[in-house]
Amino acid sequence: MPRMTTELVLKYGCNPNQPTARILFDGAPEDCPLTIVNGSPSFINALDGLRGWELVRDLKAATGKASAASFKHVSPAGAAVAGDLTNDFCRANFYPLPAEHGYSAIAAAYARARSSDRGASFGDFIAVSETVDASLAQLIKPEVSDGIIAPGYDDEARAILAAKKGGRYVMLAIEPAYAPLSGSVESRTCFGLTLEQTYNDAAIDKPLLDNVVTAEKTLPADAVESLLVATVTLKHTQSNSICVAMAGQAIGVGAGQQSRIACTRLACDKADRFMLKQHPKALALIDLFKDGVKRPDKVNAIDQFVRYHELDEIERGGLLGLLTGEPDPITPGEARGWCANFGGGRLALSSDAFIPFRDNLDRAARSGVKYVLHAGGSARDGLVTDAANEHGMVMALSGLRLFLH
């Protein structure tokens, strides 16, 4: 007897002029691991949801902690595991203070994931490893977000989220035990031709960090966790890609670039901006916003402010138009000192393939990166290791390439 195929109809493809879009599952509806709980997802929503779910599933398996990701256009804007939230962190990211909100583990994980790059997370698709509770739902409620995928929703959370976007907020539920069969083949059609490849089920775990090749050998537990977070994030990020992480949070993702150094510059620049948003001068800016300035505009303004010395007259004018007074800019010297102290030797960098030139490590060192993981296998591995030694870094070679296209 022929097997049944289950169809989930999508709103449209990548663009509204592509009206036919669907998800097909080889099996009966009751066996399909994915359910549309609310709203009408688009093709991109579905891709972001499924890619995001793979990331948080892998992240929880690697760390044992509640995990969250903020996805945009099939790459993570941020990813994190549960951790403590400080008052300064919450102020810098326009979240309720911990004493006021009572963050659950999964709410804290998402707060950290979205804070990695709040500008990039505008209109994100959320993925979380745990059932959505009211603490998380209340955190999501005021954010501009397209949807969420999770193992499930408690009743209060479901009611809160189902009311977003005039009742059109996309909510997907996925069976947490579901996984493609080992050796499964995935396919895509490109220009009328079908390409197939084996599904990438490579495990990201601590043994990947065993081959330390630098003079400095010590990888403390928090560095191990950050390298795992960074590497899991890369496994589900469009290549080429570099990720900088700290304290179990991906704070800089450089994705989809043709050169490795471009990825590194992007990731480190984002990491710098993440750290600078908690600088006292950036926190002081929050009190200068005019009444009526909306949260997304404040987020963008803070992002501009930490780069104030780089802005031209027009950009500065746009920022000043939102404020009641003149801000006290962070000087380049203050920025370098703050990032060095804020990171405190905790920053970890992972690459989805080998690092070919030392310029990547030179740029990473400027942001305070201490720990590095890359695949190795380049003819220049020795020169890159020499650079890591010059910077006092601890570097391991994983032997695992994680390209994703």
Q: Which residues are catalytic?
A: 72-73, 240, 405
Strands 67-72 and 124-128: antiparallel
DSSP 54-79: HHHHHHHHHHSS-EEEEEETTEEEEE
CB 268 within 8 A of CB 366: yes
Comparing CA positions, the residue from 75, 78, 79, 140 lying closest to residue 107 is 140
Q: Distances in Å between the alpha carbon of 263 and those of 171, 304, 346, 380?
A: 32, 21, 20, 18
Cα–Cα dist 113/77, whole Å: 8
Q: 148 pairs with which residues across the strands?
A: 126, 171
CB 376 within 8 A of CB 399: yes
Comparing CA positions, the residue from 77, 74, 75, 99 lying closest to residue 86 is 99
Does 240 sit behind a cis peptide bond, omega within 30 degrees of 0 on the bond before it?
A: yes
Strands 170-174 and 145-150: parallel
Cα–Cα dist 197/185, whole Å: 5
| Residue 23 main-chain phi, psi, to 5 deg | -110, 130
